[in-house]
Structure formats: structure tokens, C-alpha cells
Structure 1
Amino acid sequence: MSDPSGLLSRLKDRRGLDELWALLPEARLVGGSVRDLLRGVPVHDLDLATSDAPEDVLKILKAGGVKVIPTGLAHGTVTAVIRGEPYEITTLRRDEETDGRHAVVAWTTDWAEDAARRDFTINAMSLDRHDVLHDYFGGIQDLADHRVRFVGEAGRRIDEDALRALRFFRFDARYGHGEPDAEACHAISKRLELIDALSAERIASELLRILTGPRVVETLSVMKDVGLLAHLVPASDVHALRRLLACQAPEEALLRLFALCHADWSGLGERLKLSNAERDRLRQFGDNTPTLGPAMSDDDLRRARFQQSLPVLLDRSWLTQAFALGARDKGWDVFRERLQQLPQPVFPLTGQDAKDAGLLPGPAMGAWLKAGQSWWLKEGCRPDGKACLAYLVKTSEMARKSD
């Protein structure tokens, strides 16, 4: 971790921040931006907090000529836009009431009180315009020690928002090292029923981010030990995911999700409320047709390319390799190279060709095109339009003679 002095000098461009501080001098940088400045990594989002009420922030920024959008007034958040860059500014808050999913908040002027409602110590720090770092719960030391801890009592933080159980593992995978915090794991194991009250969309968002994060197998193994993984995806198979990773497959969330849940994939998309495109992708993984393998001929590969998109075929090749071998295999690498080098096959006949052949739109035209496509596929997608027409003319003549 970097030296906590002179943090603001590490920003590549602080002009927008200085403009905001000229209008809101008591505002501070908060959350991930402070954490990343301490880590010495690029900062992408500059979020601020202020003791000013959100309505006052709107007035002050508008009077100062800053474009401002009331993106979340009920939660005290507005978004300032300076030279096309967004800056979220949130009024200091305290929780008046929580139900594990949502919180009723009230504004406060107490920075420590606002920090106390945040999830983890490494996310509860703030940095003012004088480059003074404010750390109420030991976040600096935890960041240096690669330790992720809840602010205050772990159980209380999870009671306020059960999604923090998943967020803990996502953050621990990225910023932690060694065994996860024992208090956090114990608190999570005792509150698994709270997960049931969360929306499937929120659960899916965190789970997919865990799956594409670092130390994924180690993280999922601990989640399994505390009972959380079975609560999210009952028929999980961490070993299958480990085999996929051993193949050095791409870091794609759906690919890893299917490997983890391949034994019970059919209802997964609905359970996690995934998009229709994501559900269709899982279905293609599960159907596993056409069968893929390094021994496929070029004709077979062309047929496969016509039947499914290249990205799906590549993903399926990783899954097939993982389930068959679970390790690197040059044969599969060559297979994927061949697959990508083949031009996308396009059936050369169209409805206009059918009209030119004397067919009217309707079942007859559809049957004519389908017959031509079936023959074209059988021939490895190689015949051109002229050859397909010749085949159809020949088969038509043969049919008439047989009648």
C-alpha cells in the first residue's frame, strides 16, 4: 500500500474536483476512490460526501454554473457533471430503519456517524480538500494488512443489508489475503435466511462479479463452508469450475457460472432472473449440440459455425475441454484456431431465388429453401448458389418423374 500522505497529487486530473471544492469546501472524497488512492492504483470514479442537504447541494451547484442531476434525492445523492465527467455527491446519512434490503435514512452532519453505516473499514475512509485522510475504523491498517472487516459488528451490518454477505466475499477476494475474517464468516453463517429476502437481480449481480474476480475457487470454497453457496446455487460444483480454470478459459461470468452449476443449469436463469440473452446462452451450453471436439473436420466446423454463433461455440469448447480433461490440451487450442479462421458460412439461396424459380411465398417456398439448406449443410456448407439451385432442379425433376 502507498504512503497515505499527498494522496491528491496522485490524481491525473483534479480540475473538476477543485471546481466542486470551490463550491462545497467541506465535501470529502469517500469510498473506493480513497481506497484506490491509498493502494496507488488508477481512480476511475470520484465520489464525494457532504454535510449539506441534497436540496442545498443542487442550489449551490446550479448557482455555480455546474450541471447537476438529481439522480437519487431520496437517498441524498446528486450527480454533478463537469466536462463530461460525473461526480456523485451524497449527503451524510444515518440509518433510521432497516429491513435487510432497504434503509430509511436521515441526514446528519457527523462524518463518523456516516462512516459507521458503511460496509467495510477500507470503504469507510474520507479525504478532504486539504489532503487530510480521515479514518474512523482502522481502514488504513486493514488495507495494509490485506484484511477485509465489517465496520463495527459484522452481524449488525448484515442485518442492515443482507447483500453485504456476498459483498464481503467479493471484497475479500480482491483485497484480502489468507483466511477471511472469522467474525464475518460466523455472522454470515447465522444469517443465511436473510438472503431469501433479497431480489434475485441483486444476488446475481454480486455472484457474477465474484465469479470473474480473483481467487474465485478459494472464495467459493469458503462460501460453501459457511453455507452461503448452497443457499445461492444448491447444486454447485466447485471442482468443475476448477477444471475450467485449469484450462485457462476466458474470465467470463456466464461461462464460469455454468461450470459451477452444470448439474442443475436448467432453472438457473429463471432463479437468478438473468436476461433472456443470458438464459439462452446457458441453454446452448446445456444442450451441448452440435458435439464439439478437436477431431472435427472442416465440414463439421462449418456446419457448427452456421448453427451457432462463434462466441457460443468458443465458450462451449472450453466447457467440453474442462469436463473431458480439465487441463491444457494443444489439440483444443488448434481446434479453436481453426474455428476462428473459418469464414462465417451463409446459405446462398434467398426468397428472391425461390420467386425466380416460380415459387410463391408460403409453405412451398419454405419447404424449397429448407430442402436446399439441408443439402447444403450435408455438403459441409461448401456449395454456392448455382450448385444449390442445380440440386433443387434435379431433385424436383426426379420427384415429378416418380409421380
Structure 2
Amino acid sequence: MPLTDFSTGSAVTLLDQLPQRSGLDRLWRFLPEARLVGGSVRDLLLGGQQVHDLDLATPEPPHEVQAVLARAGIKTIPTGLAHGTITALIDQVPYEITTLRRDVTTNGRHAEVAWTTNWQEDAARRDFTINALFCDRWGVIHDFFGGQRDLAARHVRFVGEAGRRIEEDALRILRFFRFDARFGSDRPDLAAMTAIRSHAGMIGGLSAERLASEMVRILTGPHLARCLAHMEAADVLDRVVASPRTRRLVRGLKLGAPEDGVLRLGLLSDAPDLAQRLRLSGKQAQRLSLMRGPYLSDETDILSPQCDDDALRRQLALEEHQTLLDRIWLLQTQDDESLPEDWDALRTRLIGMKRPIFPLAGRDAVKAGLGPGPEVGLVLAELQDWWRARGCLPDREACLAELKNRLPLSPQG
């Protein structure tokens, strides 16, 4: 979908397309001066974007906002009163409403703010021009720093002096590259790149959780390959991910690796302490470990375009679809012989294959005559190997018959 005509200064037709429009209209009935701000306005102007989070700014102080909405029967939650933010709930849809602010002192996420009624002061404290746009109830765009022009050009530019904005919060370095990966400019803003390179050392002072959150979002960008080159040029990438395997990831991107931040992180780095360094969630850390373990330990992996369905089914009995799909991408980026379409065919076969479940449990062995104890586990493990060796095809009856055949060979037989 083409960009909105920025020359009109209006997004009223796009506002009409918002599924949350009725809730917005209700808020605007009681807070007529409030304006949409930030990402929702940016994505409305871009067109073709699904707008999820609706943030509003208002000149009324937070206690007045709460009082007005309470009288209107609208439920509010004091999500961040110290920073002027309350959340209104309408039909279970949250609307975050924040009083206009100006920074008094800044320290990362812990800025000291004062309320203001000046819209330009509030816009001046935001990170990028494309995020400093306001849209009022009439659909008129209020732009103090050329954000519409930058948005039309897919140009990411800091509001004000880039170095100062980074000094206020070094996470803005990563946020710059998140939007760079999304918009894919051939020529990133020179002032921004210069400031980022000179302040790159500040990345070391960021918490691992904040780094990880932004990095995973960067990795899902549609123009990631170009962004990675910009991150390397700015001396940023290896400060976030030690010894990055950039070429491997770029090759994966060219082969069609999906927009999956954890998968792409695994393609970017082999570092065994990556999950710990970035303090990834337990689920993310486990996924990386399962994806890389056999590959990094130089074990022979049966996953190749040449493997037959029996071999693929045997592996699927041991590991989940997601693990095998991740590993296939990792292996493909290291393969110079097979054709890409052969790897695609392997993925298609795997996705269409139901995961086989071993049909017996310990109670079946006991019922068949094996006494309770460690021998049950040993016999079942051997039987499961027998089942897997036959492509996981023997059904419950066949497995029970084989179990009975094996019982005389066990110590209990």
C-alpha cells in the first residue's frame, strides 16, 4: 500500500479504518484535546500497518484525566502516575494516556519530568522525528520536527542533537537500528551514525534484558541484512553479540529464513553463553540450546535433504518440530552442495509429518509381568530404540508383542 499523501496534513480516512475508533471517539468526547502520538500515528501514516497499541498525549495532568474518566464511567488503571501515565479500559481495549511532559533530568528510563501544556516541548523529548508526530481527533497531523518528510523517505533521524539524545538513554542506539532494519535506508542518517559510533561504549552500561528485547526486534526487521552492515560500521554489533557470524545470518536471510528473532539470533551467534549474556527467557534459552547443541558438538546430524521419511520420523520422535526446523536452517547455511529447493522440500516434509509418540508406558511393562523398579525404564528404553529403528511405525499391539518377547531376556524373566 502506498504512503499516505503527507501533503494533506490529514489522516482522517485512516482513523476511520481503526477497529478501536469507537473507543477513541468516546475518549475524545471527554478529553477533546488529547492526541494520538508516536508509533500509532507513524503506522497510520505508513498505511498497510496493523496498529495495536494506541497511545495518547494530553495537556491535562493525570489526576484530572482520572477524575474526568471516572465521571464518564470509564475504568482507569494508574500504570505510571509518576510519569503522568494512566491506562483507560474501554471494551477491554487499553488506551495509554500520558500528560504532556518535559524532561528535568534524564537517566535512561528514569527521567525526572515536569508537566507542560506545550506540545512542542513534549515532542522535543521523543527519540526520533518519525515518533514525534501527533494526530488530533479531526485527523490533523501535528509535526514539529519534519517527521512526515522523514517517514516518506524512510529516514530515521533523532529529534535534536543525536549525541545528546543518546547520552540521555543509550538504548536509543539499538532503537535506531530497530527502525533502520524496518525501513531499510541505503544511507542512514550521517549525524546519527557519527554520534552512535562515538557513543557505542555506552552500550556496556545497558541491562541485558533491555539489550535482548531490542536485539530480538531488530532481528525481525525486513531489511536486516542492510541494518547489520550499518551496525558493524557503527561499532555496535559485536558489543551486543560477541563474535557475530554475520555472513552466516545474511546467507540465511537470502535463503528465506523467517522473521523469527530467536532463530536469527541462533544463526548470528554460536556463543555458548549467549542466552546468559542477554538474559533470555528460559524458553528462548532452551530453544537456542536445542537448536545448536548437536551442531556445535560436531555430532553427525541426520537432518539433510537426502534423509528419507523413516530417518526424519525417527528424529521427530526425539525432538519437536520447532527444534528440527531451527536446526535445518542452521545446517543449510553451512551447506554448499545441496540446492535451496531441496532444503525447502525437507522442511515441507517435516511440517507435514505428525510427531510419532511411543505407544507404551511403564504401566504396560508392569502389566506384562515386569516388576516395578529401574528395570522398567531400561526395558522401555531398549524397546523405544527398537521402535525408532523401524521408523516409529510399529503400533501399540506390535510394541506389546515385542515387549513380551523381551521379558524372558530381562532379569525378571
Q: In the alignment, which residue of structure 2 is the partner of 1:299? A: 310
Residue 343 of structure 2 is matched in structure 1 by 332
5 Å-filtered alignment, 1:11-50, equals 11=15, 12-13=17-18, 14-42=21-49, 43-50=51-58
State the distance in 2 between where 1:291 and 1:73 align: 56
Q: What one-letter code is carried by the residue in structure 2 that aligns with 1:313?
A: L
What is the aligned partner in structure 1 of residue 328 from structure 2? 317
2:66 and 2:106 map into 1 onto residues whose CA distance is 27
The CA distance in 2 between the partners of 1:385 and 1:162, in whole Å, is 59
Deviation, 1:228, is 0.5
How far off is 1:48 after superposition? 0.8
Residues 400 and 62 (structure 1 numbering): CA distance in 2 closer, same or farther, change over 3 Å? closer
Residue 8, structure 1, aligned to residue 19, structure 2: no
Cα deviation, 1:55-75, whole Å, max 9, x if unaligned, reads 111111011111211122122
User: Which residue is equivalent to 1:270?
Assistant: 276
Equivalent residue letter for 1:275: S
The aligned counterpart of 1:195 is: 203
Q: Pick the aligned partner of 1:105 from 113, 123, 139.
A: 113
Q: 2:237 aligns with which of 229, 251, 264?
A: 229
| Paired position in structure 2 for 1:91 | 99
Match of 1:345 among 356, 360, 372: 356
Read off the aligned partner of 2:22 and give its amino acid letter. R
Q: Which residue of 2 aligns with 1:241?
A: 249
User: In the alignment, residue 17 of structure 1 is paired with which amino acid?
Assistant: L
Q: 1:22 corresponds to which letter in structure 2?
A: R
Q: 2:154 aligns with which of 117, 142, 146?
A: 146
Aligned partners of 1:173, 1:57: CA distance in 2, in Å?
37
**Cα deviation code 1:35-88 (max 9, x no counterpart):** 223223343332110111111111110111112111221221111122232211
Q: CA deviation at 1:253?
A: 1.2
Shift of 1:327: 8.1
Partner of 2:172: 164
Q: Is the 8 A contact 1:102 1:161 kept in 2?
A: no
Q: Secondary structure at the match of 1:49?
A: strand
Q: 1:49 to 1:388 in 2, by over 3 A?
A: same
State the Cα distance separating 1:152 from its structure 2 match.
Answer: 0.3
Identify if the C-alpha distance between structure 1 residues 353 and 250 changes in structure 2 by more than 3 Å, giving closer, same or farther. same
Residues 388 and 372 from structure 1, CA distance in 2 versus in 1: closer, same or farther, beyond 3 angstroms? same
TM-score w.r.t. the length of structure 1 is 0.93
Sequence identity, in percent? 51
Q: CA deviation at 1:90?
A: 0.3
C-alpha separation in 2, matches of 1:400 and 1:70: 67
CA contact (8 A) 1:101 1:198 kept: no
Cα separation, 2, equivalents of 1:348 and 1:184: 60
Cα deviation, residue 176, structure 1? 5.3
Q: Does 1:181 align with 2:189?
A: yes
Structure 2, unaligned runs of 5 or more: none
Matched residues in 1 for 2:333 and 2:382: separation? Answer: 37
Q: Deviations over 1:111-142 (max 9, x none)?
A: 11111100011111212234432211111222
Residues 248 and 24 of structure 1: is their aligned pair in 2 closer, same or farther, counting only changes over 3 Å?
same
* Correspondence 1:61 to 2:69: yes
Structure-2 change in CA distance of 1:328 and 1:162 (3 Å): farther
Q: Name the SS for the 1:105 alignment partner.
A: strand
Partners in 2 of 1:320 and 1:298 — Cα distance? Answer: 18
Cα distance between partner residues in 2 of 1:284 and 1:167? 29
- Find out whether 1:362 has 2:373 as its counterpart: yes
Name which of structure 1's ranges 124-133 and 86-95 shifts more when overlaid on structure 2.
124-133
Mark the runs of 5 or more structure 1 residues left unpaired by the alignment.
Answer: none
| SS of 1:323 mapped into structure 2 | coil
The answer to whether the Cα contact below 8 Å between 1:34 and 1:127 also exists between their aligned partners in 2 is yes
Answer whether contact 2:129 2:156 (CA < 8 A) is retained. yes
Residue 217 of structure 2 aligns with an amino acid whose one-letter code is R
What's the CA shift for 1:331? 2.0
User: How far did residue 377 of structure 1 move?
Assistant: 2.0
Per-residue CA deviations over 1:343-397 (Å, capped at 9, x if unaligned) read 3211121122112122343212222222211222223222233333333333343
- Whether 2:144 is the aligned partner of 1:136: answer yes
Query: Cα deviation per residue 1:202-252 (whole Å; 9 max; x = unaligned)?
Result: 111111111110210110111011110011012102110111112212221
Residue 9 of structure 1: CA displacement? 3.0
Find the aligned partners of 2:4 and 2:75 in 1 and give their Cα distance: 34
Match of 1:257 among 235, 260, 265: 265
When residues 99 and 296 of structure 1 are mapped into structure 2, their CA distance, relative to the original with a 3 A threshold, is same
Q: Distance in 2 between matches of 1:320 and 1:40?
A: 37
Instruction: Give the aligned CA root-mean-square deviation in angstroms.
Output: 2.1
AA partner of residue 175 (structure 2): R
Task: Output the TM-score relative to the length of structure 2.
Answer: 0.91
Code of the residue aligned with 1:391 in structure 2: it is E
| Number of equivalent positions | 400
What's the CA shift for 1:279? 1.1
- 1:395 aligned residue: 406
SS in 1 for 2:333: helix
